[in-house]
């Protein structure tokens, strides 16, 4: 797919300068800029047209905050700071049970035109550079929060290498950021596509089937296994189309096209709630807003990206 890297979070060519990590060259200096995070949310402009504000270093909120060096551009260093220790007063707190938390939080020391938003709900408002910075920082900070102790000896670990590593304070083992590989499959049979829905999704929301790649497994084998396990459909030829970093919490989605060789559906109810075949003409109606049968895959997701390009006959 020649337009593969135009998918949301597909990358903006950020110069990450890994050689500077762990050196003074990665430390924030006056004039550098940074994005601000809080409990997994990103500081964004209230106006969707304005995206993510880059706060200039130094800033009072950066003191004692978790710091990650993201890279450099023509202006200077780019960083991320996390202030999750702050507790809002008199404001709604994030709803961890919600598929897409709608609450927003305003910090009293920041302008009233910026607030902390859940990335899922605002990812289509971002430029490619803003999306790459946000996805990178959100995934890394989640990894740090989930790996504060050494998996080898159990001792506390500390952040090193400018946020790109953790080092055990006991056995000195180094731990590196985790990325979970996931296949997401555009499974077709003639002019039909296979859709499914998870138990926790909003009413009428359907998407492409997806699942984690297992150890010792190729991308193609994972596609065939996951589709058969979830829907009972056998898949023949498989080809890679596009990938998407997915910071929920830290996955890399491998978008693939698979050709079904059987069509009978037999779902595993522990994996998915429902699955069915939809014709291309029906899917066109869904995307045009003329169908109330289902909700299409979320805007900005690789699932919608693949479906739209399938509808436009742009799978290459």
Residue 204's nearest CA partner among 305, 292, 288, 111 is 292
Please give the pLDDT value at position 2: 66
**pLDDT score for 93:** 83
220-231 pLDDT tens trace: 999 999 999 999
Q: From 63, 118, 115, select the one nearest 88 (Cα to Cα).
A: 115
* Buried-exposed string 204-238: b where 16+ CB fall within 10 A, e elsewhere: eebbbbbbebeeebeebebbbbbbeebbebebeeb
Walk along the chain (316 residues) and give the pLDDT tens digit of each residue. Answer: 567 888 999 879 999 999 999 999 999 999 999 999 999 999 999 999 999 999 999 999 999 999 999 999 999 999 999 999 999 998 888 876 677 788 999 999 999 999 999 999 999 999 999 999 999 999 999 999 999 999 999 999 999 999 999 999 999 999 999 999 999 999 999 999 999 999 989 899 999 999 999 999 999 999 999 999 999 999 999 999 999 999 999 999 999 999 999 999 999 999 999 999 999 999 999 999 888 899 888 889 999 999 999 999 987 6
Tell me the CATH class for 180-311.
Answer: alpha beta
β-pairing, 33-38 vs 77-82, is: parallel
Q: Where in the chain is the domain with CATH 3.90.79.10?
A: 180-311
pLDDT at 297: 86
Q: What is the pLDDT of residues 24-71, one digit of tens each?
A: 999 999 999 999 999 999 999 999 999 999 999 999 999 999 999 999
| Total number of residues shown for the chain | 316
Look up the pTM and report it. Answer: 0.93
Task: Please give the pLDDT value at position 101.
Answer: 86
d(CA 75, CA 62) in angstroms, rounded, equals: 19
Taking a C-beta distance cutoff of 8 angstroms, is the pair 268, 229 a contact? Answer: yes
């Amino acid at each position: 797919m020649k337009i593969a890297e135009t998918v949301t979070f597909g990358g903006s060519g950020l110069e990450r300068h890994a050689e500077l990590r762990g050196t003074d060259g990665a430390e924030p200096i006056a004039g550098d800029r940074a994005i601000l995070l809080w409990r997994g949310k990103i500081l964004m402009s209230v106006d969707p047209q304005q995206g993510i504000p880059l706060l200039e270093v130094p800033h009072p909120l950066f003191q004692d905050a978790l710091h990650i060096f993201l890279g450099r551009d023509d202006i200077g260093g780019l960083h991320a700071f996390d202030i999750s220790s702050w507790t809002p007063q008199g404001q709604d707190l994030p709803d961890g049970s919600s598929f897409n938390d709608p609450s927003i939080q305003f910090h009293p020391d920041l302008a009233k035109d910026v607030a902390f938003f859940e990335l899922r709900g605002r990812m289509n408002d971002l430029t490619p550079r803003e999306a790459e910075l946000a996805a990178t920082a959100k995934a890394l900070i989640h990894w740090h929060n989930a790996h504060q102790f050494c998996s080898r000896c159990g001792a506390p670990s500390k952040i090193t290498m400018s946020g790109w590593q953790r080092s055990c304070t006991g056995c000195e083992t180094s731990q590196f950021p985790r990325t979970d590989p996931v296949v997401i499959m555009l499974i077709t049979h003639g002019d039909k596509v296979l859709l499914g829905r998870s138990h926790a999704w909003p009413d009428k929301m359907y998407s492409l089937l997806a699942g984690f790649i297992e150890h010792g497994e190729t991308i193609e084998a994972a596609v065939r296994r996951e589709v058969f396990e979830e829907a009972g459909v056998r898949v023949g030829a498989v080809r890679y189309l596009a990938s998407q970093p997915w910071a929920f919490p830290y996955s890399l989605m491998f978008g693939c096209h698979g050709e079904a060789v059987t069509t009978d559906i037999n779902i595993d109810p522990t994996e998915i709630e429902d699955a069915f075949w939809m014709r291309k003409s029906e899917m066109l109606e869904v995307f045009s807003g003329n169908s109330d049968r289902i909700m299409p895959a979320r805007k900005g997701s690789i699932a919608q990206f693949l479906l739209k390009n399938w509808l436009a006959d742009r799978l290459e």
